[in-house]
Chains A and B, each alone.
Chain A
């Protein structure tokens, strides 16, 4: 909406290229990252680049460090070594508000203040665009209304967030993150606690946002098939390291899944989306 802040000068990826792996521009990257909590090192050494305009999905078994990586990318944990760069500059060198205008987060667990209305909660996403002197502008109003329309919660505007169903509530949180209007948006397990229909609905929304608003999305997802279907760039992690990286069609193979998850499986083409589909073999059905 305020194009001056966004990098318009970036080259458009060539649509004709069959498998587009790495664009020329990477606004967000981590270099030589060592991540952990105190003495517990989770990622010993990690380099990561988030392609601009991608829907990047990080997958991996529990405890592989995918959430830790996501949290380090949005300043929630400070790397023990190495640096996260935004537009070529160390992210910690920017003022907090400047980063918040570029990089948003939908955290795994967010608490809504008791009794807050949907509208008020979504409006709080505008915080980094406001100041003491400029508290509410028509631009804020448009951003909030648009975010609520896009997520289908406009009709709930006056309702209290704690009265809503889980699916509705999650969409309200997404609306809040969208109202922040950041070109980069990080999603920490956004589909957890949702039923399958709401999961797909939300992922479709993310895909739509990614394709039509140019936002770069970086999500941690548990469901490998969802990741294959919706990601344009997949990062597979195991034991704090990136094992495979690229378009799902290129990197998802039975060997890779077995290597990452230790799960014997079959990989076929999804009959609907023609993306890879992972089918676990399981013990019972193995002849």
Chain B
């Protein structure tokens, strides 16, 4: 009877495997050439990041030499400028590194998850939820301390993302990223409406919130940064662990299941990571746009479609943009331009350039 052979024998008898071993060992892996390119990009990003970290510590209203920076960070710190470093520039540089990585990675996750290269972590309602909670805290509960805003904003971001996730996932057998996007947009709009009505009725709250909602890295308090650092670091670790599952999910849910991944688990974990990353960074620095949208794009252009490389590249490159914007803001005008405004100025032209490119990067829907 034709068609039957020994079941269970999985051999590639048509191919000479000896030749294959030769081929594998003689020729370099076909991936190795792009891998070298990717590595070069990564090294470049790392170099940029180191330079900008140093610049962020030295540049500002008062330029401070590297020797003094080193002295105030690691030495006795006797120099009169040491306080500028430890109270001002160290917290903001540290925050720039953490928040930058957080915003970039949450953008990379949401773009991979929705298979939409123009998705922004904001569509899950994180920013709107945090803003609404801060308005609520200032306008209704009379919160004035930075730590109070932090707590309100973080809880607001968390609660809103959870709500968006539940609305988006409710009652569907299959997960449809588009439903999350729609739920996020709708719930964000409602939150924004509430926040506006509170600030319109309460000018004092409006005044307080005005500064929070123009994002800034200038926190002047290392303790605040250290408070959000665990959430941010946890989010970063989860994001990096998600890279491989997101690769598989990128080929559609059917294949993801057949390759042994669990799409629902990936979705839930991804939303958790975005909430931690975006919620914590928005809570402390206020809403900062464009980083999460733009950097994963540039990362894809540099290193291709593998999420592991995209994440690694984003992790290094996003803080570069945030620190650079922050430094530009410090130097450009005497009173300092807020970082969210500078990222918008830098981000808008890049976005236009991306939109005009013939072959947009990222995944198709």
Contact = CB atoms under 8 A, between A and B. Distances in A.
B9 A6 contact: yes
A135 to B, nearest CB: 8
Given A127-B248, A146-B12, A103 B258 contact: yes
A31 B7 CA distance: 22
Contacts of B258: 74-76, 100, 103-105, 107, 186
A210 B251 contact: no
A232 B4 CA distance: 7
A284 interface: no
A19 B257 contact: no
A138 B1 contact: no
Interface stretch (B15-23, B133-141, B146-154, B160-168): B15-23
Interface string B1-40: 1111111111111110100110110000111001000000
A120 to B, nearest CB: 7
B241 A132 contact: yes
A125 to B, nearest CB: 7
A125 B256 CA distance: 10
B305 interface: yes
Nearest to B16: A149
Given A112-B251, A128-B260, A213 B306 contact: no
A26 B2 CA distance: 19
B13 A212 contact: yes
A239 B35 CA distance: 52
B244 A232 contact: no
B251 A113 contact: yes
Contacts of B363: 111, 113-114
Nearest to A180: B259
A200 interface: no
Interface string A19-45: 110010100000000000110000000
B173 A37 contact: yes
B20 A17 contact: no
Interface string B151-191: 00000000000000000000001000000000000000000
A141 B24 CA distance: 7
A199 to B, nearest CB: 18
A113 B254 CA distance: 14
Given A105-B255, A114-B361, A124-B247, A53 B21 contact: no
A125 B260 CA distance: 10
Interface in A43-99: 52-55, 74-77, 96-99
Q: Which of B14, B248, B258, B363 has the most CB of A within 10 A?
A: B258
Q: Which of B10, B21, B24, B257 has the most CB of A within 10 A?
A: B10
B104 interface: no
Nearest to A274: B2
Contacts of A130: 244
Contacts of A114: 305, 359-364
A115 B251 contact: no
A210 B11 CA distance: 11
Contact of B9 (A8, A18, A157): A8
B196 interface: no
Given A6-B9, A132-B241, A96 B1 contact: no
Contact of B15 (A101, A112, A141, A149): A149
Contacts of B8: 6-10, 52-53, 183, 214
B250 interface: yes
B9 to A, nearest CB: 4
A149 B20 contact: yes
Given A105-B255, A107-B255, A208-B14, A119 B31 contact: yes
The interface residues of chain B, by DSSP majority, are classed as loop
Contact of B260 (A109, A127, A183): A127
A37 B241 CA distance: 33
A216 B7 contact: yes
A110 B254 contact: yes
A142 interface: yes
A95 B363 CA distance: 29
B252 interface: yes
B34 to A, nearest CB: 8
Contacts of B29: 141
B115 interface: yes
A247 interface: yes
B7 A25 contact: yes
A213 B12 contact: yes
Contacts of A141: 24, 29
B77 interface: no
A214 B9 contact: yes
Given A101-B260, A132-B244, A208-B14, A10 B7 contact: yes
B179 to A, nearest CB: 17
A171 interface: no
Contact of A213 (B11, B34, B115, B305): B11
A245 interface: no
Interface string B224-260: 0000000000000000010010011011101101111
Given A74-B257, A113-B251, A113-B363, A145 B7 contact: no
B35 to A, nearest CB: 11
B3 A54 contact: yes
A281 interface: no
B276 to A, nearest CB: 20
Shortest beta-carbon contacts, A-B, top 8:
A100-B260, A53-B7, A232-B3, A105-B258, A52-B7, A214-B9, A128-B260, A97-B260
Given A37-B173, A54-B4, 5 more contacts: A10-B7, A55-B3, A99-B260, A111-B250, A127-B244
